[in-house]
Amino acid sequence: MYIILLFILIILCALCVLHIFWKVYNNKIQGGANARSNARSNARSNARTNTHNTLANGHNTDATIKKNIDSVLNKYFKHSKTIGDIVIDTLNVIMYICSIKKLSTQIIYSGIEYISKKLKRFFHGRLMFVIKDREHTFNTPEIREGYKKLAQLLKIYIYIAEQYEYDAPSWKGPNAYIHSIKGRDDLATIILAKKFNCPILTNDNFSDSAEFRSTVAPFKLLEYNWFSAKLPIIDTFKPEDLEKNKVYSTTRIKLHNIFIENEITFQ
């Protein structure tokens, strides 16, 4: 009888030892898997953080944004079922939400990131951000690379209306250079809105659009996206080639909580 009880006790002890070994072994495997998973997750997180820091140069977006565009979008969507594409008059909108007239490249990066996250709640198609180079300087390869990374990170389209650096094609019209500085991004915005039949997010009335055809200098339009192998995609626009007296019907989502249907004619 005692022998049988001793035998049972030995078996139970052996089972307990095996169970302990199994838990240790299983925890080791699970811990290794978790460590690998955490390493991958941290790497992705660090990559995103590093990319953002590279783009924004440590700029705090939240500290810059002064106005929220949610109410504007909510009001627009009470009247419209648009869920497709939209063109953003980028510099105009960033000046509004940041209450800043002079925009640094870092603020533009951060503003695009903020606006794109807001718009993706409503628009599920192409988010097209249109900007231009500065008045008396040309974009550097570093600035262009920043926009390229931003387009790839956020999965958006960024269009840059750039001046010709050398050998600009001739154009007609008074004070064409001055007007080109003011108007080439607006003209690109209107052309893209017409091409994709979509609204424009802006606070601009485009009151000088009738003059664009005769006064805006030819410009390059650089497109950055997240899927093309070769970037940028470059197109050339000569405003004087636009069809005269052509009426473009556009919808502008105004930042003062209204939206307006209007017509634009190139005289």
Whole-angstrom Cα distance, residue 97 to residue 255?
9
Full DSSP string of the chain: -HHHHHHHHHHHHHHHHHHHHHHHHHHHHHHHHHHHHHHHHHHHHHHHHHHHHHHHTT--HHHH--S--HHHHHHHHHH----S-EEEEHHHHHHHHHT-SS--HHHHHHHHHHHHHHHTTT--S-EEEEEE--SSSPPPHHHHHHHHHHHHHHT-EEEEEE--SSSPPP--STTHHHHHHHHHHHHHHHHHHHHHT--EEES---TTGGGHHHHSPPEEEEEE-SS-SS--EEEEE-GGGSPTTEEEEEEEEETTTEEEEEEEEE-
* pLDDT tens by residue, the chain, 267 residues: 667 766 676 776 766 666 676 665 666 555 555 555 554 555 444 434 444 444 444 445 555 677 778 888 887 777 666 578 999 999 999 998 888 778 888 889 989 999 999 899 889 899 999 999 876 677 888 999 999 999 999 999 999 999 876 556 565 555 555 555 578 899 999 999 989 999 999 988 887 777 777 778 888 999 999 999 899 999 988 877 777 767 777 888 888 767 777 777 776
Residue with the two structure tokens 């005289």: 267
- The whole-number pLDDT of residue 28 equals 58
Query: What is the structure's pLDDT at 185?
Result: 92
Q: Give the residue among 49, 151, 64 at the shortest CA–CA distance from 107.
A: 64
pLDDT at 241 (0 to 100): 73
User: How far apart (Å, rounded) are the C-alpha atoms in residues 205 and 185?
Assistant: 14
Predicted TM-score of the model (pTM): 0.72
CA-nearest of 94, 89, 131 to 250 is: 89
* pLDDT of res. 22: 66
31 CB burial (10 A radius; 0-12, 13-18, 19+): exposed
| Sequence-distant (≥ 6) Cβ neighbours of residue 133 within 8 angstroms | 139, 160, 161, 162, 163
Q: Where are the domains of the chain?
A: 1-56, 57-266
Measured distance CA(173)–CA(171) in Å, rounded = 7
Would you state the pLDDT for residue 58? 41
